[in-house]
Structure 1
Amino acid sequence: MTTAAAKRPQLAHLTAQLDDLRERGTFFKLRVLDDQQAPVCTYDGKRVINLASNNYLGLCNHPKLEEAAIAATKKYGVGSGAVRTIAGTMHIHMELEEKIAAFKGVEACVVFQSGFAANAGTVSSILGKEDFILSDELNHASIIDGARLSKAKIKVFRHKDIAHAEQLLQEVQNEPGRKLLITDGVFSMDGDIGPVDKLADLCEKYGAIMMVDDAHASGVLGRNGRGSVDHFHATDKVDVQVGTLSKAIGALGGYVCGSRDLIDYLYHRARPFLFSTSHPPSVAATCIAAFDILENEPDRIQRLWDNTAYFKQQLTDAGFDVGGNTTPKSETPITPIIIGDGRRTMDFSRALFDAGVMATGIAFPTVPEGKARIRTIMTSEHTREQIDQALETFRSVARKTGLLQS
């Protein structure tokens, strides 16, 4: 039955845009998870091999994390009751920040409600309209939004192009204002690794602030998952490290690491921190337990990389484009299967789901027109049998839909 509100014309422009998505074949409905986030789980009542989750190390349902969450809930309750700067800072929040700072080898850390809030809140608070931001053209949307909110002048350098980044630094080096260079540690759509070491050297040369978003590198690259900055031995050259607690860590949130002054400044000026209620104590306890596991179970990261290498090679051998032709080459557990056309990509994703594999189609505007892809993410907890079954499904569905020749 049509409601009275649905007939109102004020939001008709949204309906028109949704109709356009349907016409393009890129409209989607949310898949609903019926059980735990796992290598094999149930979405919309269907049992599928899950290749769409950011649960790199299988920590979303690790017993030690579950126990930590339950114990913290019993001790501290389910919520903090306030923002951090008023009455919502609990001892467990400070313990988590100290844990992350020690893990990363820096002076201090502040935890945000999400990785998006960490990026956007940091960039927008430490710069102003007289400053300059130099950003890789494929940086995450949260970096782009933070740059816009800062009102700083934005210069975009070609993806991983060191020479172009230096050219832009040279152009602005004599301009008044601070200069901030930002890159992703791992780029979320193509799975390639940012040249953190070389960009950090440029920042040293030109006196720019160096910032790295390590969301998809946290728990994946570096010693025990310390991230791309550690991977490149660049901790002393990177001024601002952003990470996530929502992917390999298995819970929720984001964080910023750096000097004590940086973190104290963000306590005072980062708007998402100032105006958002702090994490439930169960989430903070879960994250603390996750960092303990990173330190004590390095075999999880090794399994992740072993599974990734096998999966990539098998896809390549089957004839799929997993990057490196018209897109950057994947170097991490994020493995895109490039198809190009948006409609064809979404149709392939739906066919895979019907055949028992959850692998998300991603099209414009998340990626440029003509570069739509199925984005897959491997985890440490997928078994070889599950991977082989998923690979056979990819091959079979691709042959049926004409993406691969029989």
Structure 2
Amino acid sequence: MNNFPKKLQEKINQRKAQNMLRQLGTEHDLIDFSSNDYLGFSNSKEIFDMTHHYLESHNLHRNGSTGSRLLSGNYEFYNEVEAMLCEFHNCESSLIFNSGYNANLGFFSSVPQRGDIILYDEYIHASIRDGITMSHAKSYKFKHNNLDHLDEMLKRVQHDESVIYIVTESVFSMDGDSPNLVSLINISKKYKAFVVIDEAHATGVFGEKGVGLIQELGLENQVFARLITFGKALGSHGAAILGSKELTEYLVNFARSFIYTTALPPHTLMTIKSVYMELPKTHEISKLHNNITFFKAEIIKNKIQHHFINSNSAIQCCLVSGNENVKALSNQLLKKGFDVKPILSPTVPAGEERLRFCLHSFNSEKEIKDILQLLASLLKI
């Protein structure tokens, strides 16, 4: 008896035939140009020890939270960390979710109502798309970072009875670029639209102490909601939605990905607190930006800048059309000890496949020089 449905096997076979099959990797000791651990915090002994000592000193020997936050899992530590997030990110209220995916799913599936309008950047993250799919609101995409197109769409969808939400990212995960956030905010005011910004790849990277790009620009009081994550530059796990007290109260009551999930354990919450205690005194953020500047200079030095998407973030993308081509190039770099992931279609549109370089504070200038010299030689083949 075949215990796997034929339709599902056909979809797997199709992926294999198109060289698009995703597979789990294994742990390795390659030079890291692929992880989201931009500041190296995930391997920080100082943060690990700080977390351990706090839990020991407060006699917190709990492995789990025991339930959802609305049942038994809302221990006092949650309130402490959320208050710290409000102070650090200059917001009225914050609500922690188990991941960025859960946060976006909970927000977009519950906040926009039937009759409302969601306008979202065409390159928005899959977690936001999935949340929008679960919403009863109507949704339309605008061209990537094209504010003229956004303005045109706002004119078309504006109705007295509709609430309009504009959704974008401050740093896009697949291109590493950013919209003109000041202009976007100004457009939103003209149409009285609510702005929602995903700051997953900006938190810990931009702004004083890593507060994010929205705060760096002084826009935090002009957006309806911000999403920050702890699993990228902050090296831990989880996420939070920042906004008003009313927004938090609403999400606690209606965001199903918050209501019906077991809360994070004390160790994760203390790790998040330890990270935020480390951010004001770390030199890793400036090291990261020095590496970004050096990487971009080396791209020009090796005369391969026309292959790269312009970005000032830790994400630098080299376009290599075709899944087979970009996978082959990634394998060549891997053989020389460098871990650079190929980003394949359908994750990105066909023809826009790329090598995504994720830069870190701990990458050396020699590593950057070596990998870009190697890449330049391979691109010429």
Q: Verify same fold: TM over 0.5.
A: yes
Distance in 2 between residues matched to 1:73 and 1:369, nearest whole Å: 49
Change in Cα spacing, 1:29 to 1:319, as seen in structure 2 (3 Å) is farther
Which residue is 1:340 aligned to? 321
SS of 2:209's equivalent in the other structure is helix
- 1:250-289 to structure 2, matched below 5 A, reads 250-289=235-274
Which residue is 1:36 aligned to? none
Distance in 2 between residues matched to 1:28 and 1:236, nearest whole Å: 40
Displacement of 1:73 in angstroms is 5.1
Distance in 1 between residues matched to 2:155 and 2:46, nearest whole Å: 50
Which residue is 2:44 aligned to? 62
Distance in 2 between residues matched to 1:170 and 1:251, nearest whole Å: 42
Which residue is 1:155 aligned to? 140
- Render the CA deviation track for 1:4-42: whole Å, top value 9, x for unaligned: 6xx33x422232222222222233432212xxxxxxxxx
Change in Cα spacing, 1:315 to 1:12, as seen in structure 2 (3 Å) is farther
Change in Cα spacing, 1:296 to 1:154, as seen in structure 2 (3 Å) is same
Q: Which runs of 5+ in 2 are unaligned?
A: none
- Render the CA deviation track for 1:196-216: whole Å, top value 9, x for unaligned: 221111122211111100000
- Point out 4+ residue stretches in structure 1 off by more than 4 angstroms: 321-324
Residue range with higher mean Cα deviation, 376-385 or 365-374: 376-385
- 1:91-106 to structure 2, matched below 5 A, reads 91-106=76-91
Query: Alignment partner for residue 296 of structure 2, among 312, 334, 341?
Result: 312
Query: Alignment partner for residue 27 of structure 1, among 11, 14, 21?
Result: 21
Identity %: 29
Preserved contact between residue 302 and residue 373 of structure 2 (Cα < 8 Å):
no
Which residue is 1:185 aligned to? 170
Q: Which runs of 5+ in 1 are unaligned?
A: 34-42
- 1:88-237 to structure 2, matched below 5 A, reads 88-237=73-222
TM-score (norm: length of structure 2)? 0.94
Distance in 1 between residues matched to 2:285 and 2:363, nearest whole Å: 12
Q: CA RMSD in A?
A: 1.7
Distance in 2 between residues matched to 1:294 and 1:312, nearest whole Å: 25
- Render the CA deviation track for 1:355-385: whole Å, top value 9, x for unaligned: 2111001111110000000111000111223
Preserved contact between residue 322 and residue 330 of structure 1 (Cα < 8 Å):
no
Output the amino acid matched with 2:20. T
Preserved contact between residue 322 and residue 335 of structure 1 (Cα < 8 Å):
no
SS of 2:320's equivalent in the other structure is strand
Distance in 1 between residues matched to 2:366 and 2:87, nearest whole Å: 38
Alignment coverage as a number of residue pairs: 378
Displacement of 1:395 in angstroms is 3.8
Preserved contact between residue 187 and residue 193 of structure 1 (Cα < 8 Å):
yes
- Render the CA deviation track for 1:211-244: whole Å, top value 9, x for unaligned: 1000001111122211121122211211101010
Change in Cα spacing, 1:282 to 1:269, as seen in structure 2 (3 Å) is same
Distance in 1 between residues matched to 2:107 and 2:116, nearest whole Å: 14
SS of 1:103's equivalent in the other structure is helix
Preserved contact between residue 231 and residue 238 of structure 2 (Cα < 8 Å):
yes
Which residue is 2:224 aligned to? 239
**Pairing 1:330–2:311 present:** yes
Q: Which has the higher contact order (CA 8 A, sep 6+)?
A: 2
